[in-house]
């Protein structure tokens, strides 16, 4: 079986992967498409520490090939989008409706793959850069067959992270003002989440002027190449500022751009030990800095919602896919993503 394996030094396409059969409560999925996210690149460059060897990929969609004992909500032949949240469903956080906080789903990677008898780790409980993957049943979310898998794959990371941050974490309201720093895959979904929520003013900020057209298509009412002009558009500041790049200096800028009672939501991924600073006295104007894991989502609920919004024309998915690549062209996909040439590049199988 083909897949992309990172051995701690380089990521390469291999053809000798093996995968075990699904056990109780698991689903074997034939992957049809997988988006290349910067989190995958962050494993390769060391920003996200992860044990190796590991099969990369975490933003995928495919067709159910087989199910283990006890799985009833999907069956062979169903189309599914894959979640990265392998939550247990029984702990206190799960019962509070916060599966992204499940302590049993973080920091315990499985090894369903092998090469030559050597176990290989699964990235983000998913590993979508393989022709087949095994996930927990809760991670396989049934979607309508008429959604292209190349588009459906993006629901599982870029969409749920960006749109979910707006609707679930920040709870942007109709008429609110929003600043989005970074118009990449996550930022574009924050933009369209703000549009769907009914925000009145949505300012996209990105150093690449070529991103203006796509940012406006997804919902931006204004586009700037730096945050310096935000106060000209929003003199009091913004109700919500989303940092989607992962640079600590931009975290500070997001906080400084807030109006009273504003919220800065951190979505970008800096290095694990990175620290950011802000003026403490400014926080006494009821400002907030919010972390957000996976859009504070409930995937089995939210994926279905996003599929419906796509089918009614409110959520853009096809427009996110800038380019598709055969698995063998993984290096080109990485180069294009690293250079910012794509909103999302998608590997197809």
Which backbone phi and psi does 263 adopt, to 5 degrees? Answer: -125, 130
Task: Name the one residue in this structure whose structure tokens are 């190796």.
Answer: 52
DSSP state of 176: -
Task: List, for residues 165-187, the tens digit of each pLDDT value.
Answer: 999 999 999 999 999 999 999 99
pLDDT reported for residue 255: 97
- Return contacts of 102-105, CB within 8 angstroms, 24+ apart: none
> Which of 281, 239, 277 has its CA nearest to residue 257?
239
pLDDT reported for residue 297: 97
pLDDT at 104 over 80: yes
pLDDT reported for residue 209: 94
Structure tokens of 254?
Answer: 């997001």
∠ Cα 316 99 255 (to 5°): 65
> Which of 195, 190, 187, 140 has its CA nearest to residue 169?
190
pLDDT at 339 over 90: no
pLDDT at 108 over 80: no
Confidence bin at 106 (pLDDT 50/70/90): confident
pLDDT reported for residue 277: 92
Taken in order 310, 311, 314, 316, the sign of the CA dihedral is positive
> Which of 153, 62, 129, 133 has its CA nearest to residue 326?
129
In this structure, the strands spanning 177-181 and 201-205 are parallel
Distance, CA of 322 to chain centre: 16
- Return contacts of 308-313, CB within 8 angstroms, 24+ apart: 309/196, 310/147, 310/151, 311/144, 311/146, 311/147
Task: List, for residues 127-149, the tens digit of each pLDDT value.
Answer: 999 999 999 999 999 999 999 99
Average pLDDT over residues 63-75: 98
pLDDT reported for residue 179: 98
- Evaluate the omega torsion of the peptide bond into residue 43 and state whether it is cis, within 30 degrees of 0: no
Task: List, for residues 194-225, the tens digit of each pLDDT value.
Answer: 999 999 999 999 999 999 999 999 999 999 99
SS3 205: strand
Structure tokens of 207?
Answer: 């150093």
Task: Name the one residue in this structure whose structure tokens are 């979310």.
Answer: 141
Bridge partners of residue 179, in order along the sequence? 203, 241
- The HSE-up count of residue 289 (CA atoms within 13 Å, CB side) is 19
Confidence bin at 343 (pLDDT 50/70/90): confident
Q: Which segment of 231-240, 255-264, 270-279 scores lowest on mean pLDDT?
A: 270-279
pLDDT reported for residue 335: 94
| DSSP, residue by residue, 241-306 | EEE-S--HHHHHHHHHTEEEEEEEEE-S---TT------GGGGGGT-EEEE-SGGG--HHHHHHHH
Rounded distance between C-alpha atoms, residue 177 and residue 156, angstroms: 27
**How distant, in Å, are the alpha carbons of 53, 56, 252 from that of 10?**
10, 12, 33
DSSP state of 74: -
Q: Which H helix or E strand runs over 40?
A: helix 38-45
């Amino acid at each position: 079986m083909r897949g992309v394996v990172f051995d701690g030094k380089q990521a390469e396409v291999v053809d000798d992967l093996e995968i075990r059969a699904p056990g109780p409560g698991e689903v074997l999925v034939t992957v049809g498409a997988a988006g290349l996210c910067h989190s995958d690149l962050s494993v390769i460059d060391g920003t996200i520490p992860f044990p190796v060897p590991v099969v990369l990929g975490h933003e995928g969609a495919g067709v159910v090939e087989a199910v283990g004992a006890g799985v009833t909500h999907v069956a062979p032949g169903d189309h599914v989008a894959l979640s990265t949240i392998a939550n247990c469903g029984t702990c206190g956080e799960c019962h509070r409706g916060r599966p992204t906080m499940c302590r049993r789903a973080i920091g315990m990677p499985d090894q369903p793959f092998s090469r030559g008898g050597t176990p290989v780790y699964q990235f983000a409980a998913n590993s979508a850069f393989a022709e087949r993957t095994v996930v927990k049943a809760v991670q396989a979310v049934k979607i309508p067959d008429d959604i292209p898998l190349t588009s459906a794959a993006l629901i599982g990371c870029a969409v749920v992270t960006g749109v979910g941050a707006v609707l679930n974490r920040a709870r942007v309201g109709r008429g609110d003002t929003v600043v989005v720093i970074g118009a990449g895959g996550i930022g574009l979904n924050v933009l369209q989440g703000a549009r769907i929520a009914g925000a009145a003013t949505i300012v996209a900020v990105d150093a690449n002027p070529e991103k203006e057209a796509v940012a406006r298509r997804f919902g931006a009412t204004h586009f700037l190449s730096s945050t310096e002009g935000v106060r000209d558009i929003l003199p009091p500041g913004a109700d919500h500022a989303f940092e989607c790049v992962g640079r600590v200096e931009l975290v500070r800028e997001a906080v400084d751009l807030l109006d009273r009672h504003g919220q800065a939501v951190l979505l970008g991924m800096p290095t694990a030990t990175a620290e950011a600073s802000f003026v403490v006295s400014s926080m006494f104007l009821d400002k907030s800095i919010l972390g957000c894991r996976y859009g504070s989502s409930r995937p089995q609920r939210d994926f279905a919602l996003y599929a419906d919004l796509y089918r009614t024309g409110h959520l853009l998915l096809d427009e996110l896919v800038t380019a598709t690549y055969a698995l063998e062209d993984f290096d080109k996909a990485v180069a294009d993503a690293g250079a910012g040439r794509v909103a999302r590049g998608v590997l197809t199988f």
